[in-house]
Amino acid sequence: MVTTVATRAFAAQSPTSPLGPHTIERREPGPHDVKIDILYCGVCHSDLHTARGEWEGTKYPCVPGHEIVGKVVAVGAHVGRYKVGDRVGVGCLVDSCRECESCKADLEQYCYNGNVGTYNSRDKHLGGYTFGGYSASITVDEHFVLTIPDNLPLDAAAPLLCAGITLYSPLVHWHAGPGKKVGIVGLGGLGHMGVKIAHALGAHVTMITTTPAKAEDARKLGADAVLISTDKAAMKVAEKSLDLIMNTVSATHDYNAYNRLLRVDGAHVLLGVPPTDMPAPAVGRMLGNRLTLAGSTIGGIKETQEMLDFCAKHGIVCDIETIRMDQINEAYERMLRSDVKYRFVIDMATLKAA
């Protein structure tokens, strides 16, 4: 028998209802579990899409949030890596099968049997489905808990757990580094992390944006060059100049405009999920330049810890705006207008009063 504790949370009750106070059950720690008091939770676009039922399969009530940081308040008898008081994080995953080829290769995000998402996934322990970080606490198997290095502020580190790893993993996989020219498409929560991490890896970074007003910010974040994608002449000049493109745009758009920027053997990595299938890329150009059109999502647990340690070493955190729990619905509206630099983070101490 698993015992549970009533826990305060913030939930959407339907696709159209605003998020509001709600009570969920959290399990008391089993032998391998860590119980975490949540101090901050980042606000990802996936939270909004899921809460509003814009992707298939949202179960209600829905408690989003997968950029979780906090302090350990209890551990199970067999937990070896964490103790009470440790600064820890939980990202997009809370479990996986642990037995398949992907899991054995530390690629839990690509589990062949389906990973367990931090919210809106099947809950192996309690039945039902998982609830995310818009809540007072969470209980997670220690394998899926990350250490937040001491020199990273907890609030600004929270979005590293989704936005940070989403860029770090493909940048490392496709060898961004000294001598490589990397383009980052889209300057939002993901894109601003891409600029910072690619710069810290030693690559030459080009920010590719539709918005000339973002050029100055992009340079401050570490971009060496800014390419305005609506400027046809500049796009022409930039043809075949990049080794790697990280495409963070989730709106429907034409891949070909970016494929043209790639050198021979270049890779164009898709990180955003568009609402509809995109127009097919021009195959002739891909063949004629040995291009790779690829996709990537978050990272495994081992790599997420490497990313946190890398960010600690290079002093990288997210640029954030802290909000109260009861401002979440307004924050969603502002995200839809791209009115945030560059990530909202909820101060979970405000959940009590919300």
Q: Which residues bind Zn ion (CB under 5 A)?
A: 44, 46, 96-97, 100, 103, 111, 113, 162
For residue 281, what are the CA distances in angstroms to 31, 210, 256, 259?
50, 20, 6, 8
Query: Are 124 and 96 a contacting pair, CB within 8 Å?
Result: no
Radius of gyration for the alpha carbons in the chain, expressed in angstroms and rounded = 20
Considering the complex, state which of residue 9 and residue 162 has its C-beta at the smaller distance from Zn ion. 162
User: Closest approach of Cβ 196 to Zn ion, in Å?
Assistant: 17
**Which residue is closest to Zn ion by CB?**
44
Q: Which two tokens stand for residue 298?
A: 């978050």
Q: Which strand ranges, in their side-by-side order, compose the sheet holding 292-295?
A: 225-228, 204-209, 181-185, 242-247, 262-270, 292-295
- CA-nearest of 164, 148, 132, 5 to 62 is 132
Q: How far is CA 117 from the centre of its chain?
A: 12
Considering the complex, state which of residue 97 and residue 340 has its C-beta at the smaller distance from Zn ion. 97
Provide CB contacts within 8 A for 77, sequence distance 6+.
31
User: Closest approach of Cβ 188 to Zn ion, in Å?
Assistant: 12
- The pair phi, psi for residue 227, each rounded to 5°, is -120, 120
Considering the complex, state which of residue 298 and residue 351 has its C-beta at the smaller distance from Zn ion. 298
DSSP annotation of 235: H
The CB density around residue 345, as the number of other CB atoms within 10 Å, is: 23
Give the C-alpha separation, 35 to 42, whole Å. 19
- CA-nearest of 161, 157, 31 to 94 is 161
User: Closest approach of Cβ 326 to Zn ion, in Å?
Assistant: 22
- CA-nearest of 39, 42, 316 to 189 is 42
Considering the complex, state which of residue 234 and residue 336 has its C-beta at the smaller distance from Zn ion. 336
Considering the complex, state which of residue 146 and residue 238 has its C-beta at the smaller distance from Zn ion. 146
User: Closest approach of Cβ 205 to Zn ion, in Å?
Assistant: 22
Query: Are 249 and 258 a contacting pair, CB within 8 Å?
Result: no
Element holding 299 (H helix, E strand): none
The CB density around residue 8, as the number of other CB atoms within 10 Å, is: 17
User: Closest approach of Cβ 266 to Zn ion, in Å?
Assistant: 27
User: Closest approach of Cβ 175 to Zn ion, in Å?
Assistant: 24
Considering the complex, state which of residue 125 and residue 219 has its C-beta at the smaller distance from Zn ion. 125
Query: Are 69 and 89 a contacting pair, CB within 8 Å?
Result: yes
Element holding 225 (H helix, E strand): strand 225-228
Considering the complex, state which of residue 262 and residue 344 has its C-beta at the smaller distance from Zn ion. 344
User: Closest approach of Cβ 111 to Zn ion, in Å?
Assistant: 3
User: Closest approach of Cβ 250 to Zn ion, in Å?
Assistant: 11
Considering the complex, state which of residue 99 and residue 265 has its C-beta at the smaller distance from Zn ion. 99
Considering the complex, state which of residue 75 and residue 346 has its C-beta at the smaller distance from Zn ion. 346
User: Closest approach of Cβ 11 to Zn ion, in Å?
Assistant: 18
